[in-house]
Amino acid sequence: MPELPEVETVRRGLAPLMEGQRIVSADIRRPDLRWPFPDRMGDRLAGARIDRLGRRSKYLLADLDTGETLIVHLGMSGRMLIAERPVGVFHFTWPPAEKHDHVVLDMENGARVTFNDARRFGAMDLWPSASLETNRMLAHLGPEPLGNGFNADWLVARLEGRRSPIKAVLLDQKTVAGLGNIYVCEALWRVGIHPGRLARDLSPEEAEALTRAIRLVLEEAIEAGGSSLRDYRQADGELGYFQHSFAVYGRAGEPCRKPGCSGTVARIVQSGRSSFYCPDCQPTRI
């Protein structure tokens, strides 16, 4: 599933073509994805201008001049594909929609934005912009990891008394929004914290270092266009390449990349999900 860097990369790719533009038509090609679409979604989108294209956690947010916000979640395999009319071609017909093209938005500038989702785990909703935080997909999210609300003091307070493994706590979207398996593994490796350590056992100094590591790994991943694993591509169709910088994720049995470390990356399963770490750099201490 795309994590925060992948969704932010998609947002940055779509914004130049969508912000300030009206949706000329909205072709809704099925009644649902993971959940049913809102009533009359096509009619409510057609004619609306996108004032701002933002992001909250792993969700794209298109603020409309109608007072509603289009919420988009990419799910496991969702992609936002961009096509543009060729310059100077006056008689142009778009090619037929592909099998998994579920929502097609034609913009007034001639761009076509298509939501394609083979597995249909994605979601779309329309919600009043003034009460966006009450939407079920957004209501319980913690602070943005790249925002001012996420800091060492916040994390220390969230870890206090928690008997859950630190990795599980970081994956809890109430603790911090947008983190997923990849970037939690990478951040924990950077600060030498075993993914199975109890959250309550981290010192304030470790929590501060972890906060900085989370910010840094996300910023580097965004700069690299995200990580392309299986279905993910950027809005322009290009693959992200941060996966080439993974220190531990998906590298079980390979040498640790920390200078001076002779350890080998290991894999354990926590709550049904793979965790990757270096036993030498991240001692157990649980």
**Catalytic residue list:** 2-3, 58, 273
- Rounded to whole angstroms, the Cα distance separating 253 from 4 reads 27
- Comparing CA positions, the residue from 50, 67, 57 lying closest to residue 105 is 50
**Which SS3 state, helix, strand or coil, does residue 243 take?**
helix
Contact call for residues 122 and 33 (beta carbons, < 8 A): yes
Contact call for residues 50 and 62 (beta carbons, < 8 A): yes
Handedness of CA 106, 109, 110, 115 (dihedral sign): negative
- Rounded to whole angstroms, the Cα distance separating 263 from 252 reads 11
- Comparing CA positions, the residue from 41, 20, 13 lying closest to residue 104 is 41
b/e burial code for range 152-161 (CB count within 10 A of at least 16 → b): bebbbebbee
- Rounded to whole angstroms, the Cα distance separating 15 from 258 reads 37
Dihedral Cα 96, 98, 99, 103, nearest 10 deg: -90
